[in-house]
Amino acid sequence: MKKLKVALGVLLGLALALVLVAKLVLLTARDLPEKARFTLDLAALREAAGPIETCPGSAHAEQVARMEQREALAVAGGPFSKVTFGFYAWQLRYADGTSVVLDPVHSRRTQEKQSKGQPYDDGAWARQEKAVAAASAIAVTHEHYDHLGGAADSAHFASFGPRLKLTAAQRRPLRFGSVDRDLSGEPTLESGPEGSLHQVAPCVVAVSAAGHTPGSQMLYVRMKGGAELLLVGDIVWQESAFERLSTRPRLVSSIMGEDAEAITHQIRAILDLKKAAPSIDVVVAHDVPAMERRFQSGAVGRGFN
């Protein structure tokens, strides 16, 4: 009996040690490089955007859905308390009455499939549907359902044609997080090597940044009034990742099939841009407090009304 107790004690100790190792290793961040392998050049972004006279006069964002997640699974080193993820679509409005929609959010049907029971705003979906139907261009930071689903799930999908700006990679299905529609076809937006620039619409520029997904890109937006935004999609999920110099936990990144090394270089490039040009607003897609600050300051209009 004594030997059995000793053996059980040893097994318990090993099990606890394995749990500790798993927590310390699998939930840790990857180190950021001292120097990014590409540069976000503000002068080049502005040149690619085109004349400031052609830029949008206002930017608006609509929160269509929400979900809760443990922060430690969103940002390595974060607390285990829950954090709210907001799912926002963007609309840019131009002086000539045209508009561009970015990252249209998925439908209620997809919300129930992916995050059953989490809050969803049917009124916001209806406003988004009106916006995508009228948009002169629709583009996305990447091909996950929560950024592309508002186009793929839309009742207006058949009418989009070349207005839906997708790269070749964004048209391919993923092993994780794909939309429920076959998007195969010719690309309607160019892409290229990491850091290459491709105009989507007047004053909207895609920056190729494969990593989170093969079709990931950042979207630079220059406003007519001089403000500048960089929508970074899901390179990180919360602004605190930049503050912590952190990534998603290794385990989460591995499950999602990300190119984790590419993401570390993208984070470094974004941090370098922010240091060189502090006025640029780096938009993290799902950070609710950051979006509330934009709404309250008037920098971004709340909703598509």
Instruction: Please give, one letter per residue, the 3-state secondary structure of 68-134.
Output: EEEHHHHCCCCCCCEEEEEEEEEEEECCCCCEEEECCCCCHHHHHHHCCCCCECHHHHHHHHHHHHH
Residues 79 and 6 in one domain: no
First-residue to last-residue Cα distance in the chain: 74
Domain count, the chain: 2
CA–CA separation, 269 and 276 (whole Å):
11
- 64 in the same domain as 145: yes
Instruction: List the structure tokens of 63.
Output: 């929160």
- pLDDT at residue number 4: 41
What is the C-alpha separation between 268 and 275, in angstroms, rounded? Answer: 11
The DSSP call for residue 304 is -
Same structural domain, 2 and 98: no
Question: Which residues make beta-bridge pairs with 61?
Answer: 90, 302
* pLDDT confidence of residue 26: 61
Q: Do 13 and 130 fall within a single domain? A: no
Say if residue 87 is in the same domain as residue 229.
yes
* Domain harbouring 103, CATH code: 3.60.15.10
Do 74 and 167 lie in one domain? The reply is yes
CB atoms within 10 A of CB 126: 12
Indicate whether 84 and 130 sit together in one domain.
yes
Q: What is the pLDDT of residue 204?
A: 98
254 and 157 share a domain? yes
Question: Residue 127: which residues within 8 A CB-CB, separation 6 or more?
Answer: 62, 303, 304, 305
DSSP-derived pairing of the beta strands 281-283 and 228-231:
parallel
Q: Which residues have a Cβ under 8 Å from the Cβ of 102 and sit 6 or more positions away?
A: 89, 90, 91, 92, 138, 139, 140, 141, 204, 219, 221, 231
Beta bridge partners of 301: 60
Query: Could you tell me the two tokens for 6?
Result: 């000793």
Phi, psi of 153 (to 5 degrees): -90, -5
Answer yes or no: do 2 and 127 share one domain.
no
250 touches 263 (CB < 8 A): no
Closest-CA residue to 120 (of 150, 151, 91): 150
Same domain assignment for residues 23 and 85: no
**Does residue 22 sit in the same domain as residue 45?**
no
198 and 163 housed in the same domain: yes
Structural domain span for residue 183: 31-302
State the 10-residue block means of pLDDT for the chain, 305 residues long.
Answer: 47 45 67 97 98 98 97 95 98 98 98 96 98 98 98 98 98 95 97 98 98 98 98 98 96 96 98 97 98 98 95
Question: Cβ(95)–Cβ(57) under 8 Å?
Answer: yes
DSSP class per residue in 2-62: HHHHHHHHHHHHHHHHHHHHHHHHHTSPPPPPSS-SS---HHHHHHHH--GGGS-SEEEEE
Element (H, E) at 152: helix 145-152
Closest to 73 in 3D by CA, of 254, 264, 292, 268:
254
The structure's pTM equals 0.92
